[in-house]
Amino acid sequence: MDQGKIPIIRMMRCLLVSIQMALHDELLEQLLDDLGAAIEEERPRGVVIELANVGIIDSFTTRILNQIGTMARLMGARTIVAGIQPAVAVTMVEMGIELEGIETVLGVDDALELLGFRIDDTEAAPTFTVEHADDEHAGATDGQT
Amino acid sequence: MLKLPIESSSDLVAVRNAVGKLAEEIGFRNAQQVKIITAVSEIVRNVLNYAGTGGCIARRTSRGIRIEVWDSGPGIPVETIQAIETGSYVSKTGMGKGISGSKELMDSLSILSSPGNTQIFMEMNL
Ligand SMILES: Nc1ncnc2c1ncn2[C@@H]1O[C@H](COP(=O)(O)OP(=O)(O)O)[C@@H](O)[C@H]1O
Ligand SMILES: [Mg+2]
């Protein structure tokens, strides 16, 4: 199928995915595979998946997200889903389908904060730090790999 | 009235989009539109997974929307329908929430199924 790919951004030992296209089943299956490979290569602290522009999450989508969460956990990374639309969340609850083993937050900022990123913008020039608490790969976040 | 084929997984996206647009034109609020397209997505995916091909008709009714999805596949076994109705269905292939969840989302969902002929009717009122 020729509908492109969901891009994975590799940044600060995180994998960032933002879904901005209609979710074909093949795209999601491809994302699962691609994330598996990317987690193996990057050993990220977390995988962040932003769904603010996704207008429908059905049981297939949920199952793939749960598979991503399980796979990432087995490989030592957290999965955080950000920005599920309220109407989509209500629909999932009514159907009785749940994200399991995945943390959910409102925005990507919150996701990055959960992963230990801190932005202090109270100063004129904002500072940016990364906490290393309980992160087994923490050593590499400050430059050495 | 919309009449759409269900032949490949790109039809699944086409059906969702078209039914979503119709629901919006009929005047359903966003939250209801999401429920309608989610239910349609579940039922249409079942056609692709378990029957191969089929079709979908969506139309405006005096009270809202009516959607029919059909296929000529093996049919849904009676035991499966009963298990879904009592909430005890355990799926080998999915989360097992497609039909039961869609029933929750819509105002009504009924199944007519025998080998070679499965029809699912769903309605949502404004
Ligand atoms: N159109 C269909 N033709 C034949 N069997 C079907 C059809 N739709 C659903 N089924 C059967 O009913 C079961 C329940 O469907 P569903 O509630 O969507 O759960 P899931 O697809 O996750 O298993 C399926 O596992 C399948 O065995
Ligand atoms: Mg199903």
Q: Report the range of poorest mean pLDDT among A77-86, A125-134, B80-89, B103-112.
A: A125-134
Of the candidate CATH numbers 3.40.50.2000, 1.20.1530.20, 3.30.750.24, 3.10.20.30, the domain formed by A9-116 belongs to 3.30.750.24
For chain B, which residues make up each domain, given as ranges?
Answer: 2-125
The pLDDT of residue A38 is above 80? yes
Rounded to a whole number, what is the distance in Å from the CA of B95 to chain A's nearest CA? 6
Instruction: Over range B97-106, report the average pLDDT.
Output: 97
Q: Do B97 and A96 touch (CB under 8 A)?
A: yes
Question: Is residue A107 over pLDDT 50?
Answer: yes
* Any B CB within 8 A of A68 CB: no
User: What is the pLDDT, as a whole number, of residue A78?
Assistant: 96
In this predicted structure, the answer to whether residue B30 has a pLDDT above a threshold of 80 is yes
Predicted confidence (pLDDT) per residue in B61-89, tens digit = 999 999 999 999 999 999 999 999 898 99
**Which one, of A60, A88, A31, A24, lies nearest residue B46 by Cα?**
A60
pLDDT-above-90 percentage for chain B: 97
Ligand 1 pocket, CB under 6 A: A 59; B 42, 46-47, 50-51, 71, 73-76, 80, 84, 91, 93-96, 98-100, 118
Neighbours of ion ligand 2 (CB under 5 A): B 46, 94, 98
pLDDT recorded at residue A118: 84
In this prediction, residues A22-36 reach a mean pLDDT of 96
pLDDT confidence of residue A128: 79
pTM of structure: 0.92
pLDDT at residue A110 tops 50:
yes
From CA B67, how far away is CA B122, in angstroms rounded? 5
Q: Are strands A46-50 and A14-18 parallel, antiparallel or unpaired?
A: parallel
Asked if B105 and A60 come within 8 Å (Cβ–Cβ), the reply is: no
pLDDT at A138 over 50: no
Per-domain boundaries in chain A: 9-116
Superfamily of domain B2-125: Histidine kinase-like ATPase, C-terminal domain (3.30.565.10)
